[in-house]
Amino acid sequence: MAVGPSPSTEQIRNHLTGFRGFIQSVWNMYYEGFRNMTIGKTLWIIILIKLFLFFVIVRLIFFPDILQRDFENDEERAEHVRHELTRPR
């Protein structure tokens, strides 16, 4: 198998500089974007309150995954569902 010439130190340094520049510009985009938001700030507050309500209050207190909570393994869960679905109604 033909192997090409290995990259020089200079080339690696250029690649790394380019990559760092890319990460820096992505970071700047988000940082400046969040800083300069006007209506966005209100929206972010709504989003954060909503996510807290949904994932902390609603999910943990009111909406447990019943089969995950009440049974140890899939076999027990299958047995429970089998009982539920075949019991006379």
Under the rule (CB under 8 A), what is the footprint of other proteins?
25, 28-30, 32-34, 39-40, 42-44, 46-47, 50-51, 53-55, 58-59, 62-68, 74, 77-79, 81-82, 84-86, 89
User: Cβ distance 37 to 44 under 8 Å?
Assistant: yes
- Residue type for position 21: G
Residue 10 or 74: the one with the smaller Cβ distance to other proteins is: 74
DSSP-assigned states of every residue in 58-77: IIIII---HHHHH-SSHHHH
Of the two residues 16 and 53, which places its CB atom closer to other proteins in the complex?
53
Judged by beta carbon, residue 17 or residue 34, the one nearer other proteins is 34
DSSP 6: P
